[in-house]
Structures are given as C-alpha cells and as structure tokens.
Amino acid sequence: MSRIGRVERTTKETAVLVEIDLDGTGRTDIATGVGFYDHMLDQLGRHGLFDLTVKTDGDLHIDSHHTIEDTALALGAAFRQALGDKVGIYRFGNCTVPLDESLAQVTVDLSGRPYLVHTEPENMAPMIGAYDTTMTRHILESFVAQAQIALHVHVPYGRNAHHIVECQFKALARALRYASERDPRAAGILPSTKGAL
C-alpha cells in the first residue's frame, strides 16, 4: 500500500500544499518564498528519503512567520496522514548528525501523543537570510502538534547558526525515516502494547 499524504491548507495569510511519500527516494520540489527554509525542507526530504512537494504562497510582505508556521502545520498533517494505521512500522527512531562544529541529536516516537523537547545553543545569530532562527523551535512545535508524535531535539553545542539549524533538520529527517520504515519482522503488527497509536 502507498503511504502518501496530501494536505492543502488555506487561510487569509497563506495557501499551502504539501505532498509526502514516505517510501520515496528523496525527490523534492520546495517553494515557500523563504530561501533558507526551502533549503531545510529539502534536507528533510533528501535525508529522510521522502518524496516531498511543498508549495506555499504566504504574506511575506509582513514577514516570514505565517509562511513558515503554516507550512510546518501542513507538513505535520501530511506526515500523519501518510503513516496511515502505523501497522508494521519501527515506531521509534533516533539519529545524531554532526555538521562541522555543530551536533544535533534527535529521537522520535510515532506515538500518537504530541510532545516536544527542544534545546539549542543560546545567543545564535538572529537571522539566516529571511529566516528568523527563533522559528526552528516553532516549526518543530507545529509539526509535532499535527503529526502527533513525541520528538526530542538536542543541540549540545555549535557556533554557526546555519550549521546549528541544518544539522537539526538532517537528524530529524533520518530519525523520522528510521521510525516510519516498515519492520520486516513485524509485518501486520501494531508496535504498541496498548493496541493503539
């Protein structure tokens, strides 16, 4: 069965289309109008091996906040949709990714219960192009709320803001990939003692 999610979300502030195939090859087509965010979503698709399309038309004449947030909400909803009944998946995933002087550790549980723990170095540069670096946590909050997953992201050290953010997205991609992949030893089994995820 295909594991594809497709979400269209339209408000007075943004119009977002997200399509994700969890069993893809990492092909991406990203256009949000925020260059660095596009770069991060590309990392998510390529390192997660998700085929990912994201098209966002937002009120960038105000700032990038609504565009970034609403894209993350739609992405989380599409990811949840693509997971389907979660039968036969690994459920848990973790990955540690270095990027030069920075390191990100990400652990995920596709639990059905949204929860985020997020730490990163303080006093980062406030902007990367048009990307407000305080939005990284908000992206993760928005994604977690809609995907209904437990996510722990920890950056114990790093100096360069670009590296600090990018290694988080790369590690997130890999952790999501490992958690959502099908476990050949658990075909037809829901990975929960409760019988529900």
Q: Is the pLDDT of residue 195 over 90?
A: no
Within a domain: 49: yes
pLDDT in tens, 124-171: 999 999 999 999 999 999 999 999 999 999 999 999 999 999 999 999
Assigned domain for 26 exists: yes
CATH number of the structural domain spanning residue 96: 3.30.230.40
pLDDT at residue 110 in the model: 98
Could you read off the pLDDT of 159-183 as tens digits, one per residue?
A: 999 999 999 999 999 999 999 999 9
For residue 89, is it within any domain?
yes
Residue 55 lies in a domain: yes
Q: Is residue 20 part of a domain?
A: yes
How confident is the model over 92-98, as a mean pLDDT?
Answer: 98
Strands 28-31 and 51-58: parallel
Evaluate if residue 1 carries a pLDDT over 80.
Answer: no
Q: Provide the whole-model pTM.
A: 0.97
- Residue 127 belongs to domain spanning: 4-180
Identify whether 188 is part of a domain: no
Q: Any idea what DSSP says for residue 131?
A: E
Q: Is residue 195 part of a domain?
A: no
Banded pLDDT at 191 (limits 50, 70, 90) = very high
Could you tell me if residue 189 is inside a domain? Answer: no
Name beta bridge partners: 117. Answer: 152
> Using CA atoms, how far apart are residues 158 and 142, in angstroms rounded to an integer?
24
* Count of domains for the chain: 1
Q: Read off the pLDDT of each residue in 48-70 and give the average, rounded to a whole number.
A: 97
Per-residue buried b or exposed e for 15-44, using 16+ beta carbons within 10 Å of the residue's own CB: ebbbbbbbebebebebebbbebbbbbbbbb
